[in-house]
């Protein structure tokens, strides 16, 4: 979630004025613009969902069609305005939100030729991530960044964990394929791997479940393993999340205490005023 605050408005008065409305929400018009935008995003998402229901689509086809055109045209206009009013245009276009804004438009125009792509419009929802800025929810925004940072910092460990998990599932699935030998749901190795993942993640649909006693025994072992393994990602993220609790750079220069909270002004160990 890249911040947009390093975008600089164009010099012309009108572009500066528009910039403030579009990118900021510290004016009345800016706030109104944001609320309209949010409503249109929600409405668009809702329409796409409803269009997929044959009964509703049949009844409101024209309404949906017209609304979608209006919203999409508005988004198109907005996208080009966003480009027009910033000086460092490339910066916006390749920013996190710039790409999302673009992706929110493309499927509509593509769907004129390839109808199925219409449903990709659901990606418009991602624009909602701007929601925090809209309501000036600074605390929320900070918490959001903290969450994203914690995930980013632990992403490497999570990748390794997932690699282990995948290798584990493939092996378990193959063993199970030999055990249940082509019984329903275990006809092929990929099928058996599907079952292994469903089991080890404790999802447990039950569309595939072991039938032979040996198979059930293996399943029990796998479930107990999965139950213990689930602790690993949790441990990773929890350990990471602790990081954000204290100021990692501050040290008390009298007693050397490094366990200093972000909001501390005095060392809690020796009472020295912190710089």
Closer residue to a second copy, CB minimum distance, 18 or 101: 101
Beta carbons of 104 and 84 less than 8 angstroms apart: no
CB of 94 to a second copy, least distance (A): 22
Residues 30-89 that bind a second copy (CB under 8 A): 45, 48-49, 52-54
Residue 249 makes contact with a second copy by CB under 8 A = no
Give SS3 for 53.
Answer: coil
Residues 6 or more apart whose CB falls under 8 angstroms from that of 233 comprise 158, 161
CB of 7 to a second copy, least distance (A): 24
Closer residue to a second copy, CB minimum distance, 74 or 161: 161
Q: How many other β-carbons are positioned within 10 Å of the β-carbon of residue 255?
A: 12
Closer residue to a second copy, CB minimum distance, 15 or 272: 272
# residues near a second copy by CB under 8 A? 101
Closer residue to a second copy, CB minimum distance, 4 or 240: 240
CA 62 to chain centre: 33
CB of 14 to a second copy, least distance (A): 34
Stretch of 17-25, 83-91, 96-104, 153-161 lying at the interface with a second copy (CB under 8 A)? 153-161
Closer residue to a second copy, CB minimum distance, 28 or 206: 206
Stretch of 17-25, 31-39, 84-92, 189-197 lying at the interface with a second copy (CB under 8 A)? 189-197
- Choosing from 136, 216, 247, 250, the residue that interacts with a second copy (CB under 8 A) is 216
CA distances from 267 to 32, 95, 249, 256, 264 (A): 46, 41, 14, 9, 7
CA distance 133 to 138: 7
Residue 212 makes contact with a second copy by CB under 8 A = no
CA distance 51 to 125: 16
Q: How many other β-carbons are positioned within 10 Å of the β-carbon of residue 64?
A: 17
Beta carbons of 270 and 251 less than 8 angstroms apart: no
CA distance 11 to 16: 6
Between 103 and 142, how does the x/- string for binding to a second copy read (CB under 8 A)?
A: -------------x--xx-xx-xx-xx-x-------xx--
- Choosing from 160, 184, 212, 253, the residue that interacts with a second copy (CB under 8 A) is 160
The region that residue 202 occupies, defined by phi over 0 for left and psi between -120 and 50 for alpha, beta otherwise, is left
Stretch of 22-30, 82-90, 95-103, 208-216 lying at the interface with a second copy (CB under 8 A)? 208-216
């Amino acid at each position: 979630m890249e911040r947009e605050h390093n975008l600089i408005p164009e010099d012309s008065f009108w572009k500066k004025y528009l910039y403030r409305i579009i990118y900021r929400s510290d004016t009345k018009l800016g706030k109104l613009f944001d609320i309209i935008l949010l409503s249109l995003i929600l409405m668009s998402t809702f329409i796409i969902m409803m269009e997929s229901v044959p009964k509703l689509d049949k009844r409101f086809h024209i309404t949906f069609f017209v609304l979608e055109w209006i919203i999409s045209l508005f988004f198109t206009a907005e996208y080009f305005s966003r480009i027009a009013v910033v000086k460092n245009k490339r910066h916006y276009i390749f920013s996190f939100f710039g790409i999302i804004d673009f992706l929110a438009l493309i499927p509509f125009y593509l769907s004129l030729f390839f109808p199925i792509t219409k449903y990709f419009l659901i990606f418009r929802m991602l624009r909602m991530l701007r929601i925090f800025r809209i309501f000036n929810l600074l605390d929320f925004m900070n918490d959001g960044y903290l969450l994203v940072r914690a995930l980013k910092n632990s992403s490497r460990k999570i990748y390794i964990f997932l690699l282990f998990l995948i290798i584990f599932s493939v092996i378990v699935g193959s063993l199970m394929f030999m055990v249940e030998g082509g019984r329903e749901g275990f006809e092929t190795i990929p099928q058996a791997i599907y079952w292994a993942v469903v089991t080890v993640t404790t999802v447990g649909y039950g569309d595939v479940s072991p039938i032979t006693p040996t198979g059930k025994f293996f399943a029990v072992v796998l479930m107990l393993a999965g139950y213990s393994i689930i602790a690993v990602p949790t441990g990773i993220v929890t350990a990471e999340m602790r990081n954000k609790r204290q100021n990692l750079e501050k040290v008390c220069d009298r007693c050397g205490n490094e366990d200093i909270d972000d909001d501390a002004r005095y060392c809690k160990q020796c009472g020295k005023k912190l710089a």
